[in-house]
Amino acid sequence: MAQSVLFVCLGNICRSPLAEGAMRDAAIRHGLDLHVDSAGTGNWHSGQAPDRRARAAALAAGVDISGQAARQIAQADFASFNHIVAMERGVLAELDAIRPDDSAARLSLFLDHVAGRQGEDVADPYYGDDAGFLITWEEVRTGAEALAALFSHS
Ligand code: 4NP
Per-residue pLDDT band at 25 (split at 50, 70, 90):
very high
Per-residue pLDDT band at 2 (split at 50, 70, 90):
confident
Mean pLDDT, all residues of the chain: 97
Confidence at residue 1, expressed as pLDDT on a 0 to 100 scale: 54
Atom 3 of ligand 1: nearest residue by CA position: 10
**Exactly one of 9, 14, 77, 121 is catalytic; which is it?**
9
Report the candidate in 55, 96, 89, 78 with the shortest Cα–Cα distance to residue 4. Answer: 78
Question: What confidence tens digit (pLDDT) does each residue in 54-94 have?
Answer: 999 999 999 999 999 999 999 999 999 999 999 999 999 99
Question: What confidence tens digit (pLDDT) does each residue in 94-145 have?
Answer: 999 999 999 999 999 999 999 999 999 999 999 999 999 999 999 999 999 9
**Exactly one of 71, 112, 117, 124 is catalytic; which is it?**
124
Q: Can 14 be counted among the known catalytic residues?
A: no
Strands (E), the chain: 3-9, 34-40, 83-86, 106-109
Instruction: Give the separation between CA 123 and CA 62, rounded to whole angstroms.
Output: 22
